[in-house]
Amino acid sequence: MRYPPEHKQLTRERVLRSAARALRRDGPEKVAVADVMREAGLTHGGFYAHFESKDDLLARAIESMFDEVLANFAKGTAGKSPRDALREYVSRYLTLAHCDTRESGCPIAALAADIPRMNVEARRAFESGSARLASAIAHVLRELHVPDAGAAATSLLAELVGAVVLARCAGDPATAQRLLEASRSQVLARIA
């Protein structure tokens, strides 16, 4: 049976989505190639047609996560004033729903503690993706005439990530909600 020309790329994307979910949900040490392939509806044998190794898969999955995050950021900010775009982004980021969906949420909040123990390629992919996201935020801040928008974006991103990480560590949903609300109100007050 002959496959259409785009079949290999579509299959690769399916594997990357599966790997990205597993990586965010379980961490790099628990990602198993056989499980990723099974979740993608494929056999383990087809893995090497797409990736050189598990390390290659994880680095490409990290790139894919950031591509998705940036596409969602662009979609969520399109057609809005810079202030409204940033307010919506912050409001969506600092929610219990985001905390509860680690497997599809921000890769920075999901992987920050794991990245230092991963291979150089994965760390580079993470660093590049984080910088791309900070740059997208900085672009919006520049439109708001925020001085030193690059540094402000990095700081804002660190605050958002930190709030989500702390909320995920909270002992109960009410404590997590209070933490998220406090952070959200502080951030939004600064960009009012």
User: Residue 177: which pLDDT band, with cuts at 50, 70 and 90?
Assistant: very high
For 111-167, write each residue's pLDDT tens digit.
999 999 999 999 999 999 999 999 999 999 999 999 999 999 999 999 999 999 999
Angle at 83 between CA 77 and CA 88, to 5 degrees: 50
Three-class secondary structure of residue 107 per DSSP: helix
> What value does the mean pLDDT of the chain take?
91
pLDDT at 11 over 90: no
User: Rounded CA gap, 100 and 164, in Å?
Assistant: 10
| Per-residue confidence (pLDDT) for residue 48, from 0 to 100 | 66
**What is the pLDDT at residue 33?**
85
Listed in sequence order, the DSSP H helices in the chain are: 7-26, 33-39, 54-77, 82-93, 96-100, 107-111, 120-143, 149-169, 173-190
pLDDT of residue 32: 86
> What does the alpha-carbon distance between residue 173 and residue 169 come to, in Å, rounded to a whole number?
10
Residue-level pLDDT at 44: 67
Cα four-point dihedral sign 27, 30, 32, 36: negative
* For residue 1, pLDDT beyond 60: no
Q: Are 40 and 14 in contact (CB under 8 A)?
A: yes
Mean pLDDT, rounded, for 180-191:
94
pLDDT tens across 79-108, in order?
Answer: 999 999 999 999 999 999 999 998 999 999
Query: 15-73 pLDDT, tens per residue?
Result: 899 999 999 999 999 998 888 888 877 776 777 667 888 998 899 999 999 999 999 99
Q: What is the mean pLDDT of residues 183-187?
A: 96
Distance CA 59, CA 118 (A): 9
